Amino acid sequence: MSNNKATDPAQVFGEWVTNWERAVNSFSNKLMETDDFSRAVNSVQNTQLQMQKVFAEMMAKQLANLNMPSRNDVLDLVEAMHALENRFEKMEMQLKKISGAMEAGTKTKAKGPARTKKAPADAKK
Amino acid sequence: MSSEQIDSSSIRDKVDRMINRTVQRSVKGLDFIRSRKEPVGLTPKDLIYERGTLRLYHYHSNADEVYRIPLIIVMATTNKSYLFDLLPGQSMVEYLLNKGFDVYMIDWNDPVQQERHLGLADYTQDFIPSCIEKVQESCGEEQVSILGYCMGGVLSTIYAATHSDGPLSNLVCLTTPVNWHEMGLFSRWNDERYFDVDKLVDTVGIIPGDFIASGFDMLRPAQKLASRIRVWDNMWNDDYVQSYRAFDRWGSETVPLAGEYFRDTTKELMWKNKLHRGELEVAGKSANLANITIPIMHTIAEHDHIVPVAASRPLLELVSSEDKEELVLKGGHVSLIAGPNAVKRMWPNVSHWLAKRSV
């Protein structure tokens, strides 16, 4: 049996891939769990974010000089619209609640299959 | 028949098989490269509620009779919900529908910049309660069961802990992190000495999906390449290739996160470990897990590299429920939901546990 496995190239290749994957993952995980790795990665990320922030500020100034709205101005408008949508949604929900309560205190059951299914006989609590 | 004859026929069979598979790899490999995304999430459903990043679906029941209490699945906030409905025959949703459950799904759209202020409180005190109201309206039942996966499980437990007198009857959590100091490499990378979460959130607003996906990929750097080699090796096997493409699509469609939600998660859960310590407050309410008294089931994956067992295991120790059950299964974070072991063990166990509590 073991001879069959050893002579099956597909199986040998599959095992080699699995072992290679485990070895790389294990080595990388050991490297990445060090303080040095966390410090280095976060340092690079902080630098990128700083550059992104400076660039965004410069762009906003240029747009203001051209008398054009910045991304933040547009986002503020979208946010105002979003707040209005949320208020409408809440009002709609309140109205539905009120109209539901007016229906003689009983809820109308939605159409669909009967909700009467019993638990299987072998299912004991 | 002599042993020499057996050996030569066996070798001939192997050579034939190798040639056959090599030809198939070449032919099907071209199809693989040219083909479009694998169609996923095919079980019929209606979108019954949508608000920004939030989506609530109702799956079409194919049974004459369903259990009284509906089931709401709360998807992890970083991924698309079709993991639960990957392919026909590889779909937990399809399985639950066939078993007679009325299934709803809370799914997440990519949040847009104006949603960057959404925090844990919005997800647990607004989105989940609003969806429960919609489900109650839709089916006419007061009580609901919730099944939460990963961060969906965290949101569900926080909801349950802050609404102990609410309509929630049963809670099923799948690989839900509770002790965030045991989150392995994520804990190391997000070390508060080096990771400036405020700078990140204040600069980008929305945490990009690529950023999140690269974090997951870095946990197992060789996995992607090894999977591609394996799919080439199995190119002759249509089922293998279809399943690979569906999982690959799912893995590549990571959902971005609202910045404030990411900040809350990092500071309150990852750094201060408040959920584990029972000190978490959301919108002024205590989210102590000890407030949970309803029946609860927790399914854990033994080889989960994203949420290690040590991070998820404390959940049942911390809740006050008398009716609680833990199920530890072989498999990883994703295969737990849609892998071969899910089909054989996870789905039947969850269905069985819920069935007797959903009448």
The answer to whether B68 contacts A35, with C-beta atoms less than 8 Å apart, is: no
**How far A69 CA sits from the closest chain B CA (Å)?**
16
Instruction: State the average pLDDT over residues A45-49.
Output: 87
Contacts of A43 in chain B (CB under 8 A): 194
Query: Which of A21, A109, A117 is the closest to B223 by Cβ?
Result: A21
Does the pLDDT of residue A124 top 70, yes or no?
no
34-93 in A: which are within 8 Å (CB) of B?
35, 37-39, 41-43, 45-46, 49-50, 52-53, 56, 75, 78-79, 82, 86, 89, 93
pLDDT in tens, B240-278: 998 999 999 998 899 999 999 999 999 999 999 999 999
More confident residue, B20 or B315: B315
CA-based radius of gyration for chain B: 22
pLDDT in tens, B337-348: 998 889 999 999
Q: What are phi and psi of B48, to 5 degrees?
A: -105, -10
Contacts of A49 in chain B (CB under 8 A): 196, 199-200, 203-204
Query: Which of A78, A79, A117 is the closest to B67 by Cβ?
Result: A117
Q: What pLDDT is recorded for position A105? A: 60
Q: Is B237 an interface residue toward A (CB < 8 Å)?
A: no
Instruction: State the average pLDDT over residues B6-24.
Output: 80
Q: What pLDDT is recorded for position B4? A: 61
Does the pLDDT of residue B169 top 50, yes or no?
yes
The answer to whether A82 contacts B130, with C-beta atoms less than 8 Å apart, is: no
The answer to whether B189 contacts A17, with C-beta atoms less than 8 Å apart, is: no
* Minimal-distance CA residue of chain B relative to A118: B359
Q: Is B341 an interface residue toward A (CB < 8 Å)?
A: no
Q: What are phi and psi of B5, to 5 degrees?
A: -65, -40
More confident residue, B13 or B174: B174
Instruction: State the average pLDDT over residues B273-292.
Output: 97
Contacts of B67 in chain A (CB under 8 A): 115, 117, 119
Average pLDDT of the residues of chain A: 81
Q: What is the pTM of this model?
A: 0.85
Q: Is B242 an interface residue toward A (CB < 8 Å)?
A: no
| ipTM (interface predicted TM) | 0.74
Contacts of B188 in chain A (CB under 8 A): 32-33, 37-38
The answer to whether B140 contacts A20, with C-beta atoms less than 8 Å apart, is: no
Sheet holding B45-51, edge to edge: B45-51, B54-59, B103-108, B71-74, B144-149, B168-174, B296-301, B324-329
pLDDT in tens, B184-242: 999 989 999 999 999 999 999 999 999 999 999 999 999 989 998 998 888 888 889 98
Does the pLDDT of residue B151 top 50, yes or no?
yes
Q: Is A27 an interface residue toward B (CB < 8 Å)?
A: no
Q: What pLDDT is recorded for position B2? A: 57
In 3D space, the residue among B117, B98, B94, B112 whose CA is nearest the CA of residue B45 turns out to be: B94
More confident residue, B13 or B147: B147
C-alpha span between B28 and A56 (Å, rounded): 47
Of A11-15, B68-72, B121-125, B146-150, minimum mean pLDDT range: A11-15
SS (H, E, C) chain B: CCHHHHHHHHHHHHHHHHHHHHHHHHHHHHHHHHCCCCCCCCCCEEEEEEECCEEEEEECCCCCECCCCCEEEECCCCCCHHHHHCECCECHHHHHHHCCCCEEEEEECCCCHHHCCCCHHHHHHHHHHHHHHHHHHHHCCCCEEEEEECHHHHHHHHHHHHCCCCCEEEEEEECCCCCHHHCCHHHHHCCCCCCCHHHHHHHHCEECHHHHHHHHHHHCCCHHHHHHHHHHHCCCCHHHHHHHHHHHHHHHCCCCEEHHHHHHHHHHHHHCCHHHHCCCEECCEECCHHHCCCCEEEEEECCCCCCCHHHHCHHHHHCCCCCEEEEEECCCCCHHHHCHHHHHHHHHHHHHHHHCCCC
* Minimal-distance CA residue of chain A relative to B117: A79
C-alpha span between B58 and B64 (Å, rounded): 16
SS (H, E, C) B196-241: CHHHHHHHHCEECHHHHHHHHHHHCCCHHHHHHHHHHHCCCCHHHH
Q: Is B137 an interface residue toward A (CB < 8 Å)?
A: yes
Q: What pLDDT is recorded for position B353? A: 97
Average pLDDT of the residues of chain B: 93
Instruction: State the average pLDDT over residues A60-81.
Output: 84
H or E stretch at A20: helix A9-32
Of A9-23, A61-75, A102-116, B285-299, minimum mean pLDDT range: A102-116
